[in-house]
Amino acid sequence: MPKFFVKASNILENEIIIDDENVNHMKNVLRLQMGDEIIINDRQGHDYKCIINAIESSKIRACISSVADSSSEPSIEVTLFQSLIKGEKMEWVIQKAVEIGVTRIVPLCTSRCVVKIENPKKMASKVERWNKIAESAAKQSGRGMVPEVTPPMDFNEGLEFATEKGLFAVIPYEKEHEQGIRQILKNTSSHNFGLFIGPEGGFTEEEVQEAIRRKVHSVSLGSRILRSETASLVTLTNIMYEMGEMD
Ligand code: SAM
């Protein structure tokens, strides 16, 4: 059954109004008709089973037949603090992280980021594009919500955010030789994780020390150096696997 995401405000008591770019897709690509069954998701983890009951020029109305929590959502939450990396790689990480089950992506500006926020207007349009990529990956992978890509934060703001949200946070660091990711994940019962990944040039020693001071766990991902985008997806997958979300 085709699935679409709409704003929660478009969900009324008994019916849902679709009045965005989904209308064109439903009418002209999928060629849906009156009486067809569809799933509408409110972007917040709820799936509404509906029947199309009106097709207008720029609107589709669908009658709600049942509602349930989306079964495809992991029971844990993971916020990925991804240091800004070059163009396509950032987009690739967002797409794949959404497929794997990330809850939220925070683009992070760190001292060694090559990508800088010079023009706020340009950055705002990048964030908009990243959110579109997240939405399309969520649709494609059958997610029950659309993970948000927040505006960029600097490293300390990211740490503050993690503390405020009470995240069990890890910072993979290639110079960490004492503590591995598996070991740290085995010893937690947390359901709310944070994951800090450095840019192409890595984190500075000072950044890692500051993170540790704020109770973020420095971990190794093994003896090979992974590219930033590989490290993100490997760690995210490890968290999902260790927490039993890949069975
Ligand atoms: N500083 C290094 C350099 O420039 O050669 C590598 C940085 S690495 C490309 C980018 C990020 O991936 C790191 O900041 C870290 O978060 C993560 N990372 C990559 N390999 C890792 C490993 N073996 N253990 C822990 N973290 C790793």
Give me ligand 1 centre to Cα 174, in Å: 5
What's the DSSP call for residue 6?
A: -
- Reading the chain (247 residues) residue by residue, the pLDDT tens digits are 888 999 999 999 999 999 998 999 999 999 999 999 999 999 888 999 999 999 999 999 999 999 999 888 999 999 999 999 998 999 999 999 999 999 999 999 999 998 877 788 888 999 999 999 999 999 889 899 999 999 999 999 999 999 999 999 999 999 999 999 999 999 899 999 999 999 999 999 999 999 999 999 999 999 999 999 999 999 999 999 999 999 8
Which amino acid makes up residue 204?
T
Measured torsion, CA atoms of residues 83, 85, 91, 93, in degrees rounded to the nearest 10: -60
Residues in the chain: 247
Task: Map out the domains of the chain as residue ranges.
Answer: 3-69, 77-242
Residue type, 106: V
Ligand 1 pocket mutation, candidates 86, 225, 237, criterion most atoms within 8 A of CB: 225
126: nearest Cα among 149, 98, 103: 149
Our mutation pick for probing the ligand 1 site, out of 84, 178, 181, 226, counting the most ligand atoms within 8 A of Cβ, is 226
CATH T-level topology, domain 77-242 = Alpha/beta knot (3.40.1280)
Q: Could you check whether 3-69 and 77-242 share the same CATH topology?
A: no
| Contact assessment for residue 92 and residue 229, using Cβ atoms and an 8 Å cutoff | yes
CATH of segment(s) 3-69: 2.40.240.20
Q: How far is the CA of 221 from the centre of ligand 1 (A)?
A: 9
Report how far ligand 1's centroid is from the alpha carbon of 116 (Å).
Answer: 19
Cα-based torsion angle of the residue sequence 6, 7, 12, 18 in order, rounded to the nearest 10 degrees: -40
Residues 238 and 181: beta-carbon distance below 8 Å: yes
8 A C-beta contact, residue 27 and residue 11: no
Answer yes or no: are the C-beta atoms of 9 and 47 closer than 8 Å: no
Closest CA to 104 of 144, 77, 71, 73: 77
